[in-house]
Structure 1
Amino acid sequence: MEKFFIVKYSGPFAFIKPWTAVRDSETFSQQFLTPSIVEGIEKKLFPELLRESGIKKIARHKLNYCGIDIQQERTWAKGGFQYTKEKDVYKTNLGILKRGVLLNPNLYLAFSQEKDARVAFQQNICLCRNEDILLPVELFTISPEEFDEIQGFELKFTDNKNGFKVGYNRFNNAEEMFGELIVTGNPIREK
């Protein structure tokens, strides 16, 4: 019988950088982790995989949380500063983005190998920004069928025929990524 070794991570908040950044308050892409986010987490946990492409050790994942707090973030234009001779000042284009912060997220990472789960359980992870740290809180073993029953959002990685576009893979020449969003139970917890 196949088993999954699960590491549950939790924290007071987390930020998942959406591929739709500017419109995230409308698209709510926080509810899932893209293939490149999962691959980035895996590379953080297992730095020996930095030179390899693809997800090698994380078999599946689920995410649930207590809510999303939409926050504004001031951004600078990519072009940098411009000097205006008439006014003798440097100017730049500023923008405001609205991005969501997950409140009290739980992330479940499933591993096929116990040794990989034990390595992961000794480390913290970040969901895209270093200040938003999730800590390991539990290590347990369940069947794939029991993992299916954990309440949460899971993006099953697919191709363009079987899923919707979820972004561009920063680890693979900005290749388009696709997935099918699986929602189990009520992934937005009360506590």
Structure 2
Amino acid sequence: METRKVYLVFSDTGTLLTRTINLYTKSILNHASIALDRQLDHVYSFGRKRPNNPFIGGFVKENLQAPFFKKTKCAVYRLTISEEEYQLLQQRIMVMEASKHLYSYNLLGLFGIVLNKELGRNNAYFCSQFVATLLEDCGSYHTAKPTYLIRPQDLRELPELELIYQGELEQYPYFSTRYAPTLTGKWNRSKVKLG
């Protein structure tokens, strides 16, 4: 049976909202994303649509080398899935991306975790709920816990995950491109060779 790799990215941007969540969970790396490639060029989650506004959220394709992520700590895990599961996962993401305007961030669902009950609405997810739902829908994730209660810490406990990097996100060794600030303050993209 042919297999493919996907990558789960757990991160901590150090924002006020992140620090508040960390205090409540007594944990770090409370944002979860899923990547279809080791270079992290195709990373998806539910989060901020605008970096400076935590209250406008939804389905996002994340650019982990954008200035917003400059001081981010992270852990990147590899998950091996079947070719069929990968195709289902990729198709689901493509459908969501094509209709991303229909999706919103499930802020109410975060309170549901506190109350241990489902709170929210259709087409709304928080980050770990989104990743768990994707993996469950394609057959890669099985748990008795409903996805609306899944926290990033729950996903990190998957025995099939293999840690490939932990540390500062800007030092992630597998980026296919690097972004560097110019004298004008804009970010330039430059190709780098990976050993």
Same-fold status (TM-score > 0.5): no
Higher share in strand: 1
TM normalised by structure 1 equals 0.30
Which protein shows a greater Rg?
1
Q: Which of the two has greater helix per residue?
A: 2
Q: Normalization by structure 2: what TM-score?
A: 0.30
